[in-house]
A and B are shown apart, each in its own frame.
Chain A
Amino acid sequence: MRRIVRIAAWLYALAVYGFIFLPVIVLVLFSLQATSFPIPPFTGPSLRWYQAVLSDTRLTSALVNSLAVAILSSAAAVTLGFLSAWGFARFTLPSSTLLRGLITLPLTVSYLIIGMGLLVLFNWAGLPKSLLAAGIGHVVINLPLCFAIIYSQMGDHQINIERAARDLGAPEWKVLLLITVPVMAPAIFAGFFLSMTFSWDEFVISFLLTRFDTTLPVEIWNLLRSGLNPKTNAVGSLVFAVSIVLVVLFELTLLRRTPA
């Protein structure tokens, strides 16, 4: 009986793994296709579509744009998130619960609606579509995330650590630089990397708020108009690779930071 359960469990797990990996395998496999259609039979391997991607200046500049927007918007989100988390965790502010709720509110609203709102606002204010506008939108979606992660890690123990530093004579700015930031570093990193991956992957806000210079997901979307194309597979595989690198970096930073 136990054996049967075990075998059934393994079969089920394998089936789910298969389901999860099927599209990724097909994506990467047919990015190596030698012919012009990413459908069976497989004719590769060939790197011609990767060459096509790397020599496509629209795609490469979109990639640079995406990285710039991701890094800058995440830096802004994590800075704002950290400062506000510190403020709320350390000081008693009037209607603190309400204000914290306000900061985390965008988490419950879909990106489409956040993007729509900004589009209407910028349109009304006469601001042109740009990467900056998309970056502003990315800070809106990532700020609550950074805030929530960092705030949740500021427990009573950290409060005592800061009190000890003050007690030993540290002025407020030294408490921040020498104690709070280093102690909170894992949460700050976590917030930054998560924001990076979300911004890197974000489509709808960028789609609504950019026009000529745009981010990679939007440029890939434009490629889709040409139907199934191994070039899309190639750029998709590259994006996947970058994301994996980010995630592995994230895992390693967290693991290294956690004392054994």
Chain B
Amino acid sequence: MSASLVDISSVSHRFGQQVVLKNVSLQIEPGSYTILLGPSGSGKTTLLSILGGFVTPSEGKVFIRGEDCTSVPPAKRPTTTVFQDYALFPHMTVGANVGFGLRMQGVDGARRAAKAREALALVGLAAAFDKKPHQLSGGQRQRVALARALVIEPAVLLLDEPLGALDLKLRRQMQDELKAIQKRVGTAFIHVTHDQEEAMALADHCVVMNDGRIEDEGPPERVYARPATRFSATFMGESTILSGTVTEAKSGTVTVATSAGPISLPGAPQPGAKVALAIRPEHLVLGATGGAVALGSAKVRDVVFQGSFKRILASSVEDPTLQFIAKAPASAAVQPGDTIAVSCNAGDIILLTD
């Protein structure tokens, strides 16, 4: 076994006929903040349930601290889950909720209360000890759930879309707090979300999932800058995607025939290979004074003002099925209906082999 805190080894899972996880392997390091990112149905929540012990995988094994935990019940494994709906006990005070896990371990009342207060202070809710869950706001309940899970000092904290029920502003604020709390306690957090901004802001290690598989994993900066697959290039941030065929390959440079013309870039695929080229919106250059790689001209269909920038959607004049997504300064004088030249720099193009 490796020295990883959690080692998920070739896990597959089926619900009846439906295969929701397909041979997933994943290592998680101590003290890391891991995000499982994917759309609904990608299997990320099932993977979390398998880690928490609520679901036993159809195939494969789960090791935590080197021990085989595959069919160990939730209570007996060093994980705690923060549920999406928080699952606070409505009939107990906040203090009793946070102290519940210690009570189950047989910790006496006074020590329990002290530790619960400590945990509540950690999440900034020291004053809520005697309140009932229904007297708290959504964000506060979220913190109570976090304190309740952390107080029993799990090796791994599992968070199932913990910010999903909060409004946008609160979500961004809680996001920063979650990160700060994680750094303070040093517990490994595994957090499921479909919000890529959340993923980029929080993760040390980002795992992009789709259709029961891991598409890509690594530091969010790397996943964003150099996505491994077409899915990851479009799910983790937006991209313009050009499909093409390699026509020439020599000394680490390939030439790809696309509907926007031939494009040369660094890469290794053999001639004849079908590839996709992804370009991040901020790397597309609009207008005549452009980058080294010309992508033809495009007719602007929509300009969406987004505060600090404008998001521009345009269709290629050469190939109307090709859609450009670009980012322009807020001051840019682009109007729907304009026809403009599109280009980029070869180094910014992400080469994806299909």
> Restricting to A215-229, which residues have a CB under 8 Å from any CB of B?
none
Cβ-defined contact, A161 with B89, below 8 A = yes
Q: Judge whether B75 and A167 touch: CB under 8 Å.
A: yes
Q: How far is the CA of A182 from the CA of B100 in the complex (A)?
A: 15
Chain A's interface: helix, strand, loop or mixed, by majority? helix
Annotate A143-173 by CB proximity to B: 1 below 8 A, 0 otherwise.
Answer: 0000000000000010011011111111100
CB pair A185–B74 under 8 Å, yes or no, is no
A163-B54, A169-B105 are contacts. A179–B89 as well, Cβ < 8 Å? yes
Name the contact of B100 in the complex, choosing from A160, A163, A165, A183 (C-beta under 8 A). A165
Which residues does chain B contribute within 8 Å of A90, judged by CB atoms?
none
Instruction: Provide the bound-state CA to CA distance between A212 and B83, in Å.
Output: 58
Contact among B54, B80, B91 for A168, CB-based, below 8 A: B80
By beta carbon, the residue of chain B nearest A157 is B85
Knowing A163-B81, A174-B104, the reply to whether A168 touches B75 (Cβ < 8 A) is yes
Asked if B83 and A164 sit within 8 Å, CB to CB, the answer is: yes
In the complex where A169-B75, A169-B152, A259-B134 touch, is A164 in contact with B87 (Cβ < 8 A)? yes
- With both beta carbons as reference points, the residue of chain A lying nearest to B76 in the complex is identified as A169
Complex: chain B residue closest to A259, CB-CB? B134
B residues contacting the other copy or chain, number (CB 8 A): 26
Chain A residues touching B, range: 10 to 19
A160 to B, closest residue via Cβ: B87
A257 to chain B: closest CB distance in Å?
10
When the two chains form the complex, which single residue of B52, B85, B89, B105 contacts A165, counting CB atoms closer than 8 Å? Answer: B89
A151 to chain B, nearest CB (A): 19
* Cβ-Cβ contact count across A and B, 8 Å cutoff: 60
Interface status of B38 (Cβ within 8 A of chain A): no
**B89 & A183 in contact (Cβ 8 Å cutoff):** yes
A164 proximity list for chain B (CB < 8 A): 81, 83, 87, 89, 148
A160→B88 CA distance, assembly (Å): 9
1/0 per residue B21-60: CB within 8 Å of A? 0000000000000000000000000000000111000000
Q: Say whether B91 contacts A167, CB under 8 Å.
A: no
Q: CA separation between A161 and B87, bound complex, in Å?
A: 4
Residues in A with CB closer than 8 Å to B88 are 161
Beyond A164-B83, A167-B52, 6 additional contacts (C-beta under 8 Å) are: A166-B75, A167-B74, A167-B81, A168-B104, A169-B101, A185-B91
Which 5 A-B pairs give the minimum distances between C-beta atoms?
A168-B101, A169-B104, A164-B87, A160-B87, A167-B74
Residues on B facing A (Cβ under 8 Å): 52-54, 73-75, 79-81, 83-85, 87-91, 100-101, 104-105, 132, 134, 148-149, 152
Which residues in A have some Cβ–Cβ distance to B below 8 Å? 157, 160-161, 163-171, 174, 179, 182-183, 185, 259
